[in-house]
Amino acid sequence: MQIKPGLYRHYKGPEYRVFGVAQHSETEQQVVVYQALYGDYGLWVRPLDMFCERVDVDGESVPRFALIEAEAPLFDQPQSTQ
């Protein structure tokens, strides 16, 4: 799965800025690093698979996070082998 850095909208409405994909130091699980663009502007991580999954909203399958606008990456990202 390929995640582009940029602005995303969560299916519940709030917007987030995605910085990129990181790897957990112990499990090697890939996680998405992102920041809330509201409230205390907290930093978050979420497993890549969960970030990319679709959810059911009123009988319709929608992306959990939808890209609003891609941005230039802040960090070099290795090419995914998945």
Lowest mean pLDDT among 15-24, 39-48, 72-81: 72-81
Query: Are the beta carbons of 35 and 19 closer than 8 angstroms?
Result: yes
First vs last C-alpha separation in the chain: 7
pTM beyond 0.75:
yes
pLDDT of residue 76: 72
Query: Are the beta carbons of 9 and 65 closer than 8 angstroms?
Result: yes
Nearest to 22, CA basis, from 52, 53, 46: 46
Nearest to 41, CA basis, from 17, 7, 71: 17
**Domains defined for the chain, CATH in brackets:** 6-70 (2.30.30.320)
For residue range 41-67, list pLDDT tens digits in order: 999 999 999 999 999 999 999 999 999
Tokens (6 digits) for 72: 């230039």
